[in-house]
Structure formats: structure tokens, C-alpha cells
Amino acid sequence: MAKPKPKQINQDEDPDLTLEVVRKMSDEEAKANLKHVPLSLTILKHWREFCPKTYRSLKRAGCLHSTVLERAIMTIELACSLWKEGLDAVRAREIADREYWLLTDKELFP
């Protein structure tokens, strides 16, 4: 019997990939939707290369892709919020990156 394909968000019908939506997804569904949030692919690559313990631990737990997608959305939301408050866009993004994903294994999950 063929395995059902994970549900992908159709950006034409539902352009808002929110934390609420992501938190209800299985890891397989999150994996299928990583491409809709390009930052998530950057985070995945970074964690695989620079945070191997975190990467392996989340993968073993079956929540790697959902965690990556969640962190990407949280990063974007914080950066936008800081920018709206008047912070330079580049600086806002740097702060958000360091808050949610640009960390060491120990800082990510102590």
C-alpha cells in the first residue's frame, strides 16, 4: 500500500504559514513545507554542519523539520517586529537569527 503524501501548504490558498499552523504539523508535513520558508533551509544546513548534536537529537526525536520551520517563522516574526519598532532591517535580522537559531548546540538546547 502506498504511503500517503504529506500535506503541503498551497501558498495560493493559504499564504500564511504561521506558528499555529506549523505546530499542528507532523514532522513529515513540516519537511514538505520547508521550501515555503527559505530561511528554514538555511537553518537546516547550519544545524547539520555546526550543531550536529542538536541536529541528530531532533532527527532521532522525529521533530527536526518541524523545529526548524518553527524557528524560521519565529525568526522572521521577531525581525519584522524589531524593524517595525524602528531598528535597521539588517540589525533586526541579526538579533532575531541569534535569538532563535544561530547558536551552538549548548545554547540551542542546554
Residue 73 contacts residue 99 (beta carbons within 8 Å): no
CB atoms under 10 Å from CB of 44, counted, come to: 21
pLDDT value of residue 61? 95
Closest to 101 (Cα-Cα) out of 25, 60, 57, 93: 93
Contacts of 101 (CB under 8 A, 6+ apart): 43, 46, 47, 68, 71, 72, 75, 108
Residue 9 C-alpha from the chain's centroid: 15
At 10-58, the pLDDT tens digits run: 444 444 678 888 889 899 999 998 888 999 999 999 999 999 999 999 9
Q: What is the pLDDT of residue 3?
A: 52
